[in-house]
């Protein structure tokens, strides 16, 4: 199906209307771009389903995840990230508004989110999208006159058809250009008119250029540059949100691993208590042990069972917290409500290598933290806003130039005419006294316009000087003060980041020392328990001291796990403080923004029942 090809048989008042109809959108494929300009861009509905990666990691009611898998699930399903993705879309819409010459509706808050509404200060930007204005009007006028000298009648009837079209566009220089095409077809009952009916037409071009206030590309493009900066701010804010979510997921993951280790410790303690009870019962039957020792063993077994229950409960609660940040549907969904989370990564023993110097880490943080780039862009936006406010201080001086080509065409008035003051009856008009140059239809008028037979020209300046100018001066002062505040906030941010890095390094060093002490203490308690067990076998010790040694070893193992978990969390906090979280976890920010991670699911999945398998660990 091709484009609409209407053919105009006659150019007249409604022929121009037909031209306008020919230019309007049609269902033909070639009119697609025109139709697109007047249709809203569809926004797809929110996807609240979990990604396919989640199903691929579930085996026999267990979700086997490595830290890498957990991060990938969070990037694909976390609702906090999904909410922040819309900020990027909003920033894109704001950029398109600015490119049309419209003042922004939204600004970026210090947290990187878009807020609305806002009001802009400074000189207004001309509309950068062209605008077509058209008018079609048909009218009948009846006008009684007190003097018939000029018209030849005391009652003037006029039938007119007006078809006007114009297009106006602004430019980044501040220039506004308008092209007008005006047409008027008139038929009157005046016998004195030489032409009746007649047609007037004109084509005019008007240019207005600010010379002082509102002049310059740098000034009028400030909203576009601000909108682009806001896009980058939302990207940096999204990167910061990704870092926060990844750090949170990593912390939850390693806490889950440490709680699993704690469950193992409590189960081992329970097994020791159970074996002790069985040994004491056998000794009681042989008569080599008092009954009170069996009672003590039973009490210790009950206490160990209670600790196992508490540890398993804490583990289930941690699984729920982790599932919440990895899914969109929630933890009570049919698929996830009974699924157990099994981490496949193990806690790693800290190395002996010394950390980089605080000065180096602080320099890395100032280059990598997204908050620093956000602060810089916000300062730049304030400086751009200040340009508009500064321009508003100036007087308004506009250069205006216009040019118009006029035309007239018509037919000889058929109405008889009487000379002014004559009592003779009206006589037919002598057509020889009418200039034949104007005889004809709209084609004659249009040819006059093209030949520029009757041109008009005008050039001038328009000057407006506000006295005192207090409002503009107050706006300038206000925007300067806001800029100074942002510069101070940027310096505060840099100082706080340096403090965060310092504290993170100290926390990591403390966690490393704590782990080493806890590991040494656990080894000492293991030797103590073995010695106490040997003494107990020889009858040189009692159940009380053996139980005490078992408790001390369990506490030492728990303290070692807690110290190792604290060291892992300290590393996570150090990566976050220095801005290395994304690089440390091999995260591509474009994939995070799209919510689709190309990282494949692992091929090797632990077999069901290996929930307590610890792999390569301490």
Cβ-contact 161, 182 below 8 angstroms: no
Q: Please report, for residues 230, 321, 335, the alpha-carbon distance to residue 330 in angstroms, rounded to integers and kept in the order given.
A: 33, 10, 10
pLDDT band for position 539 (50/70/90)? confident
pLDDT at position 541 is 80
Neighbours of 316 (CB within 10 A): 11
Range from 11-15, 211-215, 312-316 carrying the lowest mean pLDDT: 11-15
pLDDT at position 350 is 82
pLDDT at position 431 is 66
Q: What is the mean pLDDT of the chain?
A: 84
**Which residues lie below 8 Å from residue 118, measured CB to CB, with a gap of 6+?**
104, 105, 106, 107
pLDDT (mean) for 130-134: 93
pLDDT at position 286 is 82
Range from 53-67, 273-287, 288-302, 603-617 carrying the lowest mean pLDDT: 603-617
pLDDT (mean) for 565-591: 92
Instruction: List beta partners, residue 170.
Output: 176
Share above pLDDT 70 across residues of the chain, in percent, rounded to a whole number: 86
pLDDT band for position 33 (50/70/90)? low
Tokens 């073995």 appear where? Answer: 530
pLDDT at position 446 is 92
* pLDDT at residue 538 greater than cutoff 90: no
| Rounded-to-integer distance, Cα 264 and Cα 558, Å | 10
Task: Assign 3-class secondary structure to 122-190.
Answer: CCCCCCCCCEEEEEEEEEEEEEECCCCCCCCCCEEEEEEEEEEEEEEEECCCCCEEEEEEEEEEEEECC
Neighbours of 468 (CB within 10 A): 7
| Rounded-to-integer distance, Cα 216 and Cα 242, Å | 40
* pLDDT at residue 26 greater than cutoff 60: no
pLDDT at position 600 is 63
pLDDT band for position 300 (50/70/90)? confident
- What does pTM read for this prediction? 0.80
Encoding tokens for residue 466? Answer: 């506000």
Instruction: List beta partners, residue 343.
Output: 65
pLDDT at position 32 is 57
* pLDDT at residue 417 greater than cutoff 80: no
pLDDT band for position 17 (50/70/90)? very low
Range from 106-115, 363-372, 413-422 carrying the lowest mean pLDDT: 106-115
| Rounded-to-integer distance, Cα 63 and Cα 340, Å | 6
pLDDT at position 520 is 92
Q: What b/e readout covers 572-582, taking b as 16+ CB neighbours within 10 angstroms?
A: bbbbbbbbbbb
Is 105 or 489 the better-scoring residue by pLDDT? 489
| Rounded-to-integer distance, Cα 413 and Cα 408, Å | 14
Range from 198-202, 222-226, 330-334, 436-440 carrying the lowest mean pLDDT: 330-334
Encoding tokens for residue 23? Answer: 């230019």
DSSP, residue by residue, 68-115: HHHHHHHHHH-HHHHHHHHHHHHHHHHHHHHHTTPPPS-EE-TTS-EE
* pLDDT at residue 4 greater than cutoff 50: no
pLDDT at position 221 is 92
* pLDDT at residue 113 greater than cutoff 80: no
pLDDT (mean) for 3-28: 40
pLDDT (mean) for 17-21: 37
pLDDT at position 23 is 40
pLDDT at position 259 is 93
**Which residues lie below 8 Å from residue 542, measured CB to CB, with a gap of 6+?**
293, 536
Encoding tokens for residue 40? Answer: 């809203």
pLDDT (mean) for 245-272: 93
* pLDDT at residue 419 greater than cutoff 70: no
pLDDT band for position 117 (50/70/90)? low
pLDDT (mean) for 168-172: 95
Neighbours of 365 (CB within 10 A): 23
Encoding tokens for residue 39? Answer: 């249709």
Instruction: List beta partners, residue 450.
Output: none
| Rounded-to-integer distance, Cα 430 and Cα 422, Å | 17
Q: What value, to the nearest 5°, has the Cα angle with vertex 169 and ends 199 and 126?
A: 135
Q: Please report, for residues 5, 18, 21, 264, 457, the alpha-carbon distance to residue 2 in angstroms, rounded to integers and kept in the order given.
A: 9, 18, 16, 76, 43
| Rounded-to-integer distance, Cα 310 and Cα 262, Å | 10
pLDDT band for position 46 (50/70/90)? confident
Encoding tokens for residue 27? Answer: 């269902």
Encoding tokens for residue 90? Answer: 């909003």
pLDDT band for position 168 (50/70/90)? very high
pLDDT at position 29 is 47
Strands 58-59 and 62-65: antiparallel
pLDDT band for position 25 (50/70/90)? very low
Which of 164, 342, 180, 193 minimizes the C-alpha distance to 257? Answer: 342
Percent of the chain as helix, strand, coil, to the nearest 5: 55, 15, 30
Encoding tokens for residue 578? Answer: 């220095």
pLDDT (mean) for 179-188: 94
> Terminal CA-to-CA distance of the chain, rounded, Å?
73
pLDDT band for position 488 (50/70/90)? very high
Encoding tokens for residue 362? Answer: 């602080």
* pLDDT at residue 363 greater than cutoff 70: yes
pLDDT (mean) for 262-288: 87
Encoding tokens for residue 446? Answer: 């249009």
pLDDT at position 605 is 46
pLDDT at position 5 is 40
Is 439 or 427 the better-scoring residue by pLDDT? 439
| Rounded-to-integer distance, Cα 78 and Cα 252, Å | 14
Is 604 or 76 the better-scoring residue by pLDDT? 76
Which residue blocks in 179-330 are alpha helix, DSSP H?
Answer: 217-220, 222-286, 291-326
Which of 351, 260, 317 minimizes the C-alpha distance to 614? Answer: 260
Tokens 């006589």 appear where? Answer: 427
pLDDT band for position 3 (50/70/90)? very low
* pLDDT at residue 415 greater than cutoff 90: no
pLDDT at position 423 is 59
Q: What value, to the nearest 5°, has the Cα angle with vertex 253 and ends 251 and 255?
A: 65
pLDDT at position 181 is 95
Encoding tokens for residue 254? Answer: 């390693």
pLDDT at position 413 is 84
pLDDT at position 47 is 85
């Amino acid at each position: 199906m091709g484009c609409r090809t209407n053919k105009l048989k006659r150019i007249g008042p409604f022929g121009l209307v037909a031209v306008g109809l020919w230019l309007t959108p049609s269902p033909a494929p070639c009119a697609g771009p025109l139709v697109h300009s007047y249709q809203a861009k569809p926004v797809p509905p929110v996807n609240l389903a979990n990604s396919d990666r989640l199903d691929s990691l579930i085996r026999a009611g267990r979700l086997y995840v490595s830290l890498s898998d957990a991060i990938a699930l969070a990037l694909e399903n976390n609702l906090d990230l999904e909410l922040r993705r819309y900020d990027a879309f909003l920033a894109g819409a704001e950029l398109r508004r600015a490119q049309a010459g419209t003042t922004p509706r939204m600004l970026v808050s210090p947290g990187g989110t878009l807020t609305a509404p806002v009001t802009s200060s400074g000189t207004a930007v001309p509309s950068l999208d062209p605008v077509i204005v058209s008018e079609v009007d048909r009218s009948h006028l009846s006008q009684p006159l007190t003097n018939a000298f000029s018209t030849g009648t005391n009652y003037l009837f006029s039938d007119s058809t007006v078809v006007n079209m114009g297009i106006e566009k602004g430019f980044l220089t501040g220039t506004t250009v308008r092209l007008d095409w005006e047409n008027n077809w008139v038929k009157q009952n005046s016998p004195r008119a030489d032409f009746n009916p007649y047609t007037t037409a004109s084509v005019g071009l008007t240019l207005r250029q600010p010379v002082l206030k509102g002049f310059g590309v740098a000034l009028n493009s400030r909203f576009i540059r601000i909108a682009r900066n806001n896009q980058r701010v939302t990207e940096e804010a999204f990167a910061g949100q990704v870092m926060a979510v990844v750090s949170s997921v990593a912390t939850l993951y390693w806490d889950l691993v440490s709680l699993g280790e704690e469950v193992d410790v409590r189960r081992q303690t329970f097994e020791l208590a159970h074996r002790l009870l069985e040994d004491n019962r056998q000794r009681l039957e042989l008569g080599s042990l008092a009954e009170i020792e069996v009672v003590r063993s039973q009490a210790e077994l009950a206490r160990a069972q209670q600790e196992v229950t508490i540890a398993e409960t804490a583990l289930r609660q941690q699984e729920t917290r982790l599932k919440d940040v990895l899914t969109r549907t929630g933890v009570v969904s049919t698929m996830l409500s009974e699924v157990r989370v099994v981490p496949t990564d193990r806690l790693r023993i800290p190395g002996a290598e010394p950390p980089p110097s605080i000065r180096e880490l602080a320099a890395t943080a100032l280059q990598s933290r997204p908050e620093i780039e956000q602060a810089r862009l916000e300062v730049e936006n304030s400086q751009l806003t200040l340009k508009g406010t500064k321009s508003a201080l100036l007087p308004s001086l506009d250069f205006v130039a216009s040019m118009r080509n006029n035309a007239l065409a018509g037919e000889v008035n058929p109405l008889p005419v009487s000379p002014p003051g004559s009592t003779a009856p009206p006589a037919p008009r002598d057509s020889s006294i009418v200039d034949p140059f104007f005889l004809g239809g709209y084609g004659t008028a249009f040819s006059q316009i093209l030949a520029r037979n009757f041109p008009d020209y005008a050039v001038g300046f328009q000057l407006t000087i506000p006295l005192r100018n207090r409002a503009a001066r107050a706006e300038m002062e206000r925007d300067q003060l806001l800029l100074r505040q942002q510069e101070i906030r940027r310096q505060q941010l840099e100082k706080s980041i340096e403090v965060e890095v310092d504290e993170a390094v100290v926390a990591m060093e403390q966690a490393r020392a704590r782990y080493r002490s806890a590991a040494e203490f656990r080894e000492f308690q293991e030797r103590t328990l073995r010695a106490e067990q040997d003494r107990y076998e020889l009858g040189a010790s009692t159940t009380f001291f053996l139980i005490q040694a078992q408790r001390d070893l369990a506490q030492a193992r728990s303290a070692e796990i807690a110290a190792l978990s604290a060291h892992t969390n300290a590393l996570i906090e150090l990566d976050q403080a220095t801005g290395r979280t994304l690089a440390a976890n091999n995260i591509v920010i474009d994939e995070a923004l799209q919510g689709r991670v190309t990282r494949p699911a692992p091929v090797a999945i632990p077999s069901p029942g290996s929930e307590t398998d610890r792999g390569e660990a301490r």
